[in-house]
């Protein structure tokens, strides 16, 4: 790899000035002098001894070098402050942030939000407030098992069924407020008469949108985007900047000007992943996040957009993409394929080895090439059994299987029996691959690649008359590409380092998102679906 | 200090006197006077190795001695001093510049406030086998 062009000015390595002083100046000068003891010129040996490490001249020259290094370090440090993504906190907030984004540029932490089922007698009223925390103190609040507080956003009257569905948002902030499905919330204040003491997170997706305070690198990147895409007079870049300023949970905003008609704007937001697992972490935008962006951008309530504009804020709709990959890893080795003869291998007839039937979470069948078990065996068990892993599409990770036996059932069917059930739900359509202990490194690099993608278009750029205006801003060719493809391999090879010789993307079920049927639904985005990986 | 709205630390003041003293400069030739006068460069390095406090500055991280760390004139002090002298001269010995003959203790009494030790060596670069010595006086803490 070539060294990046780090500095626009010359920097000297430690010892450069010292050696310059000693070798070029000092030693050269000594050569012109006469040794008073011998009456002859100093010999090279004498000169070398007088200037060797530990000699006073060496120490003095080294001290000059150290002093120069100190001043050079200050120069390099100051040069770093010019670039927002390298500046330290004080310069970032006090200089770049103040200059480009105004005072207090850093976005505050937000709390997660989502739907909660609250059992109560019909007619009980859960008081809510869209201002969090409620200044009047009338909204009902609850706490989760960790003690974080949540507030009801809108007043809801319990229907005849006896269960009220409430939209709640965390009063406390941070990633920990993205509570999981079935988390129990205990009412703490303003519990309505007739309500049960607890409620629970009921609807999938669970709470989303809770995020810690904007980090230096996120703020630096936002400032750079602000510089690169100049917002002015409500142009597309201005809408992007407004949306990204509305909530710290917004990773990026994409603008489709005039998508509906002249004077209309469609804004699609992606949410930061944070600690959330799964392929839809960025597309499942929290209620409160969407409300914050909507409140900031949609007139007449918007503080920035004039009232005649028609603005619609949406999330992006995920469209999964299934991958078949082949990696050249060492076989039968740590850091490669665990088995000497990995099974199943890739074949054109069975490019994916798919679970066809599930008897229990410890026994299932897959379809693969008939008679393909290593050595043509009818059944392999114990230490002879192939080591396998199964793709968990809900978390985008492989799970290692504790294989007891693999039996060839004839035809293309194989029964796999496990010693223990894996930490996932085995269902038909799951993808089976031979096991490698690099499973998490591979999965994380694939996930990281898909997290670099952005949404596609909402109108057909080739045929639609709105295309010149309604194309996505920023353009997909500029950043946040909407196309998934070969670049993924570079990410995987980077992540694997020396462990792999090559990785091949054998097939990808979707490389580009479709146009949405209804623009109001927002654009589509390619997200990670099922992944199979085989030896190359 | 306040520079362009940013608070920066005041520049560090060097300890006085500076641990790295400048050479005398010949007023006529503007040469360092010690280039052609004074001690043999190896003898000078022995003196530096024993007198400079090791790691007292970034340029002498691996030069100088830690002999001043001997604070107590107890039973172990002689062994400790011997070992520290060996460490101080290790570069010159490894470089075949000197042969370390030994370390003797001229004035040394357990429990007293001071002691004097003599480091004897042969300058292998000087062309004769003369045993030279450096005397160090130590003060107990």
Shortest distance between the Cα of A65 and any Cα of chain B, in A, equals 9
Residue B17: pLDDT over 50: no
Q: Report the residue of chain A nearest B89, measured CA to CA.
A: A54
Residues of A in contact with B34 (CB under 8 A): 56
Give the model's confidence band at A364: pLDDT under 50 very low, under 70 low, under 90 confident, else very high: very high
The pLDDT of residue B89 is 95
Give the model's confidence band at A216: pLDDT under 50 very low, under 70 low, under 90 confident, else very high: very high
How far apart CA A162 and CA A168 sit, in angstroms, is: 18
- Beta-strand ranges (E) seen in A283-387 are 310-315, 317-329, 353-360, 363-367, 379-381
Nearest to A79 by CA among A67, A91, A62: A91
Residues of A in contact with B36 (CB under 8 A): 33-36
Nearest to B95 by CA among A26, A52, A44: A52
Burial class (CB in 10 A: 0-12, 13-18, 19+), A103: exposed
A238 close to A497: Cβ distance less than 8 angstroms: no
Give the model's confidence band at A6: pLDDT under 50 very low, under 70 low, under 90 confident, else very high: low
Residue A2: pLDDT over 70: no
Cβ contact B48–A55 (<8 Å): yes
B128 touches chain A (CB under 8 A): no
Give the model's confidence band at B12: pLDDT under 50 very low, under 70 low, under 90 confident, else very high: low
Q: What percent of chain A stands above pLDDT 70?
A: 98
Q: What is the mean pLDDT of chain A?
A: 90
Q: How many CB atoms are closer than 10 A to CB A162? A: 15
B58 touches chain A (CB under 8 A): yes
CA distances from A327 to A345, A435, A499, A502, B95 (A): 11, 12, 10, 6, 53
Give the model's confidence band at B21: pLDDT under 50 very low, under 70 low, under 90 confident, else very high: very low
State the complex-level ipTM.
0.74
Q: Closest partner residue to B41 among A50, A59, A62, by Cβ?
A: A50
Q: For the sheet containing A431-434, what is the strand order?
A: A379-381, A403-408, A413-418, A363-367, A353-360, A431-434, A388-392, A397-400
The tokens for A65 are 């070098």
Q: What is the pTM of this model?
A: 0.70
Cβ contact B31–A50 (<8 Å): no
The pLDDT of residue B4 is 61
Shortest distance between the Cα of B79 and any Cα of chain A, in A, equals 25
Give the model's confidence band at A376: pLDDT under 50 very low, under 70 low, under 90 confident, else very high: confident
Q: Using DSSP, state whether B33 is helix, strand or coil.
A: helix
Cβ contact A53–B42 (<8 Å): no
**Can you name the residues that pair with A329 across neighbouring β-strands?**
A500
The pLDDT of residue B127 is 82
Q: Which of A54, A90, A103 is most worth mutating to test chain B (most B CB atoms within 10 A of its CB)?
A: A54
**Pick from A333-347, A485-499, B5-19: least confident:** B5-19
The 10s digit of each residue's pLDDT in A500-526 is 888 999 999 999 999 999 999 999 999
Q: Using DSSP, state whether B17 is helix, strand or coil.
A: coil
How far apart CA A297 and CA A238 sit, in angstroms, is: 11
The 10s digit of each residue's pLDDT in B74-118 is 888 889 999 999 999 999 999 999 999 999 988 878 778 888 889
Q: For B116, phi and psi rounded to 5 degrees?
A: -135, 130
A107 close to A245: Cβ distance less than 8 angstroms: yes
- A286-299 as b/e: b if 16+ CB within 10 A: bbbbbbbbbebbbe
Cβ contact A54–B48 (<8 Å): yes
Cβ contact A91–B6 (<8 Å): yes
Nearest to A222 by CA among A84, A98, A330, A112: A84
The 10s digit of each residue's pLDDT in A451-497 is 999 999 999 999 998 888 999 998 888 889 999 988 999 999 988 88
Q: Using DSSP, state whether A58 is helix, strand or coil.
A: helix
Give the model's confidence band at B22: pLDDT under 50 very low, under 70 low, under 90 confident, else very high: low
| B3-139 CATH fold | Nuclear Transport Factor 2; Chain: A, (3.10.450)
- Residue in the block written with tokens 């090559």: A502
Cβ contact A60–B58 (<8 Å): no
A379 close to A407: Cβ distance less than 8 angstroms: yes
Nearest to B3 by CA among A76, A105, A74: A74
Q: Using DSSP, state whether A386 is helix, strand or coil.
A: coil
A367 close to A354: Cβ distance less than 8 angstroms: yes
Residue A366: pLDDT over 50: yes
Give the model's confidence band at A243: pLDDT under 50 very low, under 70 low, under 90 confident, else very high: very high
**Pick from A168-177, A203-212, B117-126: least confident:** A203-212
A34 touches chain B (CB under 8 A): yes
Residue B19: pLDDT over 50: no
Residues of B in contact with A49 (CB under 8 A): 41-42, 97, 125
Q: Using DSSP, state whether A79 is helix, strand or coil.
A: helix
**Pick from A124-128, A260-264, B137-141: least confident:** B137-141
Q: Closest partner residue to A36 among B36, B44, B97, by Cβ?
A: B36
| Gyration radius of chain A over CA positions | 31
DSSP H/E element including A496: helix A487-496
The 10s digit of each residue's pLDDT in A174-209 is 888 988 888 999 999 999 898 999 999 987 768 888
Q: For A434, phi and psi rounded to 5 degrees?
A: -65, 150
Residue B3: pLDDT over 80: no
Domain boundaries, chain B: 3-139
Q: Name which residue leads in pLDDT, A349 or A37.
A: A349
């Amino acid at each position: 790899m070539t060294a990046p062009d780090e500095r626009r000015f010359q920097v000297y390595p430690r010892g450069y000035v010292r050696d310059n002083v000693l070798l070029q100046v000092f030693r050269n000068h000594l050569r012109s002098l006469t040794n008073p003891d011998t009456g002859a010129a100093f010999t090279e040996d004498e000169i070398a001894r007088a200037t060797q490490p530990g000699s006073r001249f060496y120490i003095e020259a080294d001290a000059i070098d150290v002093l120069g290094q100190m001043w050079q370090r200050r120069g390099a440090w100051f040069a770093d402050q010019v670039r927002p993504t390298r500046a330290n906190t004080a310069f970032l907030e006090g200089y770049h942030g103040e200059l480009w984004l105004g005072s207090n540029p850093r976005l505050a932490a937000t709390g997660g939000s989502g739907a909660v089922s609250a059992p109560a007698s019909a007619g009980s009223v859960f008081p809510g407030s869209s201002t969090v925390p409620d200044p009047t103190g009338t909204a009902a609040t609850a706490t989760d098992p960790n003690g974080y507080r949540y507030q009801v956003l809108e007043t809801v009257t319990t229907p005849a069924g006896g269960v009220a569905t409430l939209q709640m948002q965390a009063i406390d902030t941070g990633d920990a407020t993205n509570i999981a499905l079935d988390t129990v919330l205990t009412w703490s204040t303003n519990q309505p008469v007739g309500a049960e003491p607890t409620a629970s997170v009921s609807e999938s997706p669970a709470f989303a949108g809770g995020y810690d305070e904007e980090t230096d690198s996120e703020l630096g990147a936002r400032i750079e985007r602000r510089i690169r895409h100049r917002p002015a007079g409500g142009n597309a870049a201005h809408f992007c900047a407004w949306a990204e300023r509305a909530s710290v949970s917004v990773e990026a905003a994409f603008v489709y000007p005039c998508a509906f008609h002249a004077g209309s704007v469609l804004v699609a937001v992606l949410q930061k992943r944070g600690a959330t697992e799964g392929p839809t972490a960025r597309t499942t935008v929290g209620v409160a996040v969407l409300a914050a962006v909507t409140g900031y951008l949609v007139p007449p309530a918007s503080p920035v957009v004039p009232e005649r504009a028609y603005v619609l804020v949406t999330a992006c709709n995920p469209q999964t993409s299934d991958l078949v990959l082949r990696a050249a890893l060492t076989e039968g080795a740590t850091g490669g394929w665990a088995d000497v003869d990995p099974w199943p291998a890739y074949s054109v007839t069975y490019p994916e080895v798919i679970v066809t039937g599930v008897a229990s979470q410890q026994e299932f069948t897959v379809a693969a090439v008939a008679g393909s078990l290593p050595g043509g065996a009818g059944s392999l068990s114990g230490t002879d059994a192939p080591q396998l892993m199964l793709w968990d599409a809900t978390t985008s990770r492989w799970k290692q299987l504790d294989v007891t036996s693999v039996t060839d059932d004839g035809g293309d069917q194989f029964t796999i029996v496990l010693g223990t059930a894996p930490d996932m739900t085995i269902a038909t359509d799951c993808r089976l691959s031979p096991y490698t202990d690099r499973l998490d490194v591979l999965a994380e690099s694939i996930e990281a690649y898909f997290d670099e993608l952005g949404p596609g278009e909402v109108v057909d750029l080739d045929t639609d008359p709105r295309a010149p205006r309604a194309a996505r801003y920023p353009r997909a060719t500029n950043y946040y590409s909407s196309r998934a493809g070969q670049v993924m391999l570079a990410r995987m090879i980077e992540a694997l380092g020396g462990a792999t010789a090559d990785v091949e993307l054998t097939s990808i079920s979707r490389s580009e998102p479709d146009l949405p049927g209804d623009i109001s639904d927002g654009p589509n985005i390619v997200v990670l679906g099922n992944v199979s990986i085989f030896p190359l | 200090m306040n520079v362009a709205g940013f608070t920066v630390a005041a520049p560090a003041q060097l300890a006085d006197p500076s641990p790295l003293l400048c050479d005398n400069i010949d007023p006529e030739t503007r040469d360092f006077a010690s280039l052609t006068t004074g001690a043999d460069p190896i003898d000078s390095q022995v003196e530096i190795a024993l007198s400079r406090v090791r790691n007292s500055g970034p340029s002498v991280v691996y030069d100088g001695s830690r002999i001043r760390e001997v604070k107590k004139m107890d039973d172990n002090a002689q062994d400790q001093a011997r070992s520290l002298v060996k460490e101080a001269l290790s570069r010159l010995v490894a470089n075949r510049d000197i042969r370390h003959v030994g370390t003797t203790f001229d004035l040394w009494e357990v429990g007293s406030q001071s002691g004097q030790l003599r480091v004897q060596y042969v300058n292998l670069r000087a062309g004769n086998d003369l045993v030279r010595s450096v005397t160090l006086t130590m003060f107990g803490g």
